[in-house]
Every structure is written in structure tokens, then in C-alpha cells.
Amino acid sequence: MSKLPLFPLGLVAFPDEKLNLHIFEPRYKQLVMECHAENKTFGIPPVLESKPIPIGTEMRILDISHIYPDGKMDIKSVGVGKFYLNAFHAKADDKLYPEGEVDMIQDVGATDIVIQSRVIGLIEQLYTIMKMDIPVPTVSNDFKIYTIAHKIGLNMEQEIQLLKIHSETARLEYVENHLVDFIPVVLEMENLRKRIQMNGHFKNVIPPDIKL
């Protein structure tokens, strides 16, 4: 078990995800400056109902993009791993920012190309239905579902559940089940939108042949 500076947020960060943050609170400005100067990582545990959940993503600062005159800053970071949060301390010793006692998680990154291909096909179907101008990932041993997890219709609780899965193949299975359930709902909503848009327009319809 080790100690890790923490930046609790009301969102889920994923390993391999690049995350830009605007830092304005003094405690997190201190965290960023120390982690950047000492090449240390920090953790983002998602917050639900005002409490950090006991799992999170280890982040590394890539760059401090901009420092404003009042000390606020924009940073670029990337997820590099996951951790279990065993204990949360609102303030680290002699620091302003929170700290956690954590165990790092060993993830199983090997993928299943067959399942991955099905998932990518479903993602392409979803984007087509929603007319989303987002690049569809290609099937590859290097592709990780975490890199697109925010763009497949998961709510926060589902994203947390995905974060808790420590095998890429199991994550693909979870996302496949989600998309199989989610796409028909999106399709119905899209059909409803089209029907609403047609209301009031001249319609070219063929009357039914009614037999008396």
C-alpha cells in the first residue's frame, strides 16, 4: 500500500485517456505544481453522493499548458493505471490537497479481436444512427475500449462499473451487452424525432384499402 495525492472529481477518468483540466482551487494548484516538479502521479477517484468511491485512475501530468495571472492553470494529463482507495484523507500531512492510501491494480490488457470487432461494429451503428461525426476505431491489438468509453452512451454508474473491470476482454463483453440494449432505444428515439419533425408537413400517404 502506498500514498497518492488525490484530485476527487465528479467524473470517471480512464487509463489511456487524455484529460485536460482547469485548475483553480489553491489545494489543487499545489498538487499540480508538486506533481509536475517532482514527476509524481496523482489519482482521480470518482465522487458519488459527495463521497469518493474506493477505486480510481492514476494520472500523469503531460504539460502545464497555461498559467493565468491569478495562478489558475490549464493542464494536460493522461491515465496511466488504476488503484484501490483503501483510505481517504481530506488533507495530506502539511499539504492543502487530499491524499489516499492505495493499492495499484494489475490490469489484464490482452484483447479478444473477435469480440472487439463486434463491439466496433456496434459503435459504428450507433454513430450512424445518431449522425455523429466521430471517428470509428479500427480493429487492432492496440485498441483499448477505455479510449472511447465516454462516447458510447454510458452513464456515470456504468462508467464506474467499467472502471472496476480489470480485463480488456471482460470490458468488451460489458460494452457489447450495453450497446445491444442501448442501440434499439436510440433508434426508437431517432424515429420519434423524425415523426415529430414531420408533424405539420404535407405528407404523401397512400390511404389503406378498407373493406366493409
Q: What is the pLDDT of residues 57-116, one digit of tens each?
A: 999 999 999 999 999 999 999 999 999 999 999 999 999 999 999 999 999 989 999 999
Tally of domains in the chain: 2
**What is the structure's pLDDT at 41?**
98
Q: What is the pLDDT of residues 45-64, one digit of tens each?
A: 999 999 999 999 999 999 99
Element (H, E) at 76: strand 73-89
Of 105, 121, 138, the position where a domain reaches its end is: 105
How far is Cα 9 from Cα 204, in angstroms, rounded to an integer? 52
**What is the structure's pLDDT at 201?**
53
Q: Which three cell numbers stand for residue 160?
A: 464506474
Could you tell me which of 139, 122, 127, 128 has the C-alpha nearest to residue 176? 122
Query: Which residues are 74's β-sheet partners?
Result: 22, 66
**What is the structure's pLDDT at 208?**
64
Are 98 and 123 found together in one domain?
Answer: no
Tell me 96's DSSP state: S
Residue 208 lies in a domain: no
**What is the structure's pLDDT at 195?**
74
Are 152 and 168 found together in one domain?
Answer: yes
Helix residue ranges per DSSP H, 64-167: 113-130, 156-163
Of 105, 134, 161, the position where a domain reaches its end is: 105
Residue 42 lies in a domain: yes
Which residues span the domain enclosing 29?
A: 2-105
Q: What is the pLDDT of residues 113-171, one digit of tens each?
A: 999 999 999 999 999 999 999 999 999 999 999 999 999 999 999 999 999 999 999 99
Q: Is the pTM of this model over 0.75?
A: yes
**What is the structure's pLDDT at 99?**
97
